[in-house]
Structures are given as structure tokens and as C-alpha cells.
Amino acid sequence: MATKEAADAAALILQKRGFTEVQEINGLTVGARVRATGEQFSRAYREGTGTIERIFHNERSSWAQKYQRPDIELIIKRDKPDFGGDEYITRADYHVAVVEVDPEDAAEEAAAAAEPKEDAL
């Protein structure tokens, strides 16, 4: 799903399937930094690769009944579009990991990025 409009359409489909939108569940919160579990490069672990925009859960889905846990779907805004060009993606909660960003580290990295670079010549 490439656009905000597509993300909103996906949210409507989830709601029609019985999902309820929430702000927090099982340690996931709107605004949290996350990475896909397959993204195993160091920057993904430090900073994440996207931000949770919306959270949906369905306690009565067949999946939730089978696995005895809430069926949780996330709409995530990626920092950069993925290889398919998608800026927004949907993922089940078990396909992402929350990244705890240290505010001090984030401030230091932002300051370093803002410093003028000297020519390497």
C-alpha cells in the first residue's frame, strides 16, 4: 500500500472484518518505532525503520481463537518506501519488533547529522 489513502482504505477493510482500532495493546503503541523482524541490520535495531500509525485488534477472529491471543494488525509508515515503493505497510504484530530509541543517542545522531561536513580532500 503506497499512500496514506491506501492505508485508510486498509483500515476500513480491517474494521469491516471485525477489527477494533486502539491506541495501545500488548506493548504496542501508536507512535512507537518498529522494524520488520527480517530487518536485521544495525541501524534497524538502533532506530527502527518505521512508525506505528494505527493499531487494530480482533479478539474473536478464527486466528485469535486458534492461537489464544489477540489478532493484531498494524499500519506502519515507513521512513523510506520499501523495495516495492510502499510508504505505508500493514503487518501483523508478530512480524515487527518494537525498537526502544534512546533519546540521548537520537539527539547525538541528529546533532552529528546537522554539523557541516568537511571535504575529504
Tell me the pLDDT of the chain averaged across its residues: 84
Asked whether residue 70 is assigned to any structural domain, the reply reads: yes
Cβ(53)–Cβ(75) under 8 Å?
Answer: yes
Q: For the residues 100-109, what does the mean pLDDT come to? A: 63
| Residues near 41 by beta carbon (within 8 Å), at least 6 away in sequence | none
User: In the structure, what pLDDT confidence band is assigned to residue 121 with cuts at 50, 70 and 90?
Assistant: very low
The more confidently predicted of residues 119 and 57 is 57
Asked whether residue 119 is assigned to any structural domain, the reply reads: no
Asked whether residue 121 is assigned to any structural domain, the reply reads: no
Query: Would the pLDDT of 4 be above 90?
Result: no
Asked whether residue 118 is assigned to any structural domain, the reply reads: no
Extended strands (E) in the chain: 20-22, 24-25, 28-29, 33-36, 50-58, 71-78, 88-92, 96-98
Q: For the residues 92-105, what does the mean pLDDT come to? A: 82
Asked whether residue 117 is assigned to any structural domain, the reply reads: no
In tens, the pLDDT along 21-34 reads 999 999 899 999 99
Cβ(32)–Cβ(23) under 8 Å?
Answer: no
Domain that residue 34 falls in: 4-112
**What are the cell numbers at 26?**
500488548
Number of structural domains found in the chain? 1
